[in-house]
Every structure is written in C-alpha cells, then in structure tokens.
Amino acid sequence: MKGRVGILIVSLCLWFAPGVALAASPDCWRPFTLALHDHGLLYSAETDSGIDKDIAEELGRRSGCKLVVSLMSRARIWQLIESGALDFSLSGIANAERNRFAAFAWYISNKYYLLVRKDAGIRKLADFERDEHLRLGVIRSFRYSETANQLVDSLQAAGRVSQSAGLGPLYRVLSANAIQAMIIEPFDYPALDEKRIRDFTDIIEFNDPAVPHGLIMSKASLSPEEQDKWRDLVREMRRDGTVRRIFQKYFPPDLAAAMTEFDDSP
C-alpha cells in the first residue's frame, strides 16, 4: 500500500510541476469545418493525398474533434474564414489584412521562386519587371514573400498579371507562352518534372527569408482561448517530430528538416 501511495504522490507532483502540465485540449462542442485547396504536394484532388491532408488527419486524431473536410479555391477559403462560415484551412500565410480575421499556427517555412521561360531571356528579377511585353501568372488570392509580392503588385498595376484558380491552368498558359513566368515553391517541383516544364524554364530565387505557413483559424468562429489550444496542438506535432515525418513522405530528409525546423516565436 505504501508503495502505491508513493507512486501516486510522485505522479501528482509531476502533474502539477511547472512546465510539464499537459496543454488543454480543444473544445469539441461541435463538428468543425476545414478546407483544403488543390496545390501540388500540399494536396492533390486527383490522388486525394498530400501534406495538408495528412496534417488535417493528425489534427483530428489528436484533438478528438470531428473535422468536416472539403475542397475549395483559395479565394473562397479566405472569404469563408473571414465570415466565420469556415473554421480552418491549412498552409496559410499571414499579412496585415488577414491578421484582422484569421489566426495562425505555423508548421512550414519555405522560400518562393520565379519560374521563367528560357526564351524570355531573363537572368534577374529586374529584367522581368522592366520588359513590358512579359506577363506574370499568379493564383488568385495568393500572397508570397515580400519581394515576390512587390513584383506582383507592380505588374498588377501595369496590367501585366494573369490570374488563375490553380496551378494547372498556369502551367498550361506558361507552356503556351501566354505568360512568361509564374511564382512557385517546393510543393510544386514534382509537377515541373511530370509536365516537362523544366525543359523550357529557369528558376530565379527571390532573395527573401523563408515565409511561415500554417493552420488558418477563423477569429469569427474560434475564441482566442480555443485558438491557443489548436496552436499548442500544432506546436506539439512539431516538437515530437510528427510534422517532419509527414514532410519526409514527400521530400528528401534534408529539405523536410529545413522546411519544418524553424523558430515560430512571435
């Protein structure tokens, strides 16, 4: 009996010790909605697989909450997140406007690149911006890194941007030379080989720091306290290596590590 009491006392001391108490779980008082978008290795509607689907499944498992998952365009996702009609999405990027209505829990950090046709004769970003005959293709409602966003905004003002609902149409118009460049990230690399796009393109790096991407949470539907619970859950997935293991299904180990091991402190 004394042995059992001793074990119980030790367990209680550990439970209440600073730094070891378990974070509170999210409140699963109703089913939650989560939307994926079709984008390279993040999610493929054709194969019903990808990084974000794996992340969503792990979030459901760990939280114990029912997540009703659907597929939407990125533009529609942001609209519904703002109104509160959608609770979550994934691989989102923050900016001043989005921070008004969305909160984030980071699990990816990566860079952006300009994919440009070789026959455009472009060697650096300034060359592309100066040539008024060249057009850039972007996905509607996407934002990128600082320099990439500056390029998009500058060309948009000059009427030199073509918008699309997804990557597929952009690849087609790039192949047809209706646009001469588009912005990509590592999630898009397999499609470049599959569609033989590397054969006629070059990649130019934006000299920007890596940009964090994460779980998008609607401020209209989730209280600050519940946002913190989901944020803690994502952080634990990173701490215990789950996020890295998911990425290693899709990327070489060194690239998976580079994209998932970063400082997410404010």
Residue 195: its pLDDT value, please?
A: 87
Question: What is the rounded distance in angstroms from the CA atom of residue 120 to the CA atom of residue 128?
Answer: 8
Sheet with 211-218: strands ordered across? 67-71, 32-36, 88-92, 211-218, 102-110
Domains 29-110+212-260 and 113-205 share a fold: yes
Could you say which residues of the chain have pLDDT below 70?
1-23, 266
Contact between residue 134 and residue 120 where contact means Cβ atoms under 8 Å apart: yes
State residue 231's pLDDT score. Answer: 98
Neighbours of 38 (CB within 10 A): 18
Question: pTM (2 decimals)?
Answer: 0.89
Contact 213, 110 (CB under 8 A): yes
158-181: pLDDT as tens digits: 999 999 999 999 999 999 999 999
Distances (CA, A) of 168 to 23, 101, 110, 126, 229: 41, 29, 21, 27, 36
Record: fold of 29-110+212-260: D-Maltodextrin-Binding Protein; domain 2 (3.40.190)
* pLDDT score, position 10: 35
**Domain 113-205: CATH superfamily, name plus number:** Periplasmic binding protein-like II (3.40.190.10)
State both tokens at 64: 């114990």
- H/E run at residue 226: helix 224-239
Residue at token pair 């209680």: 12
The residue ranges of every structural domain in the chain are 29-110+212-260, 113-205
Q: SS3 of 220, please?
A: coil
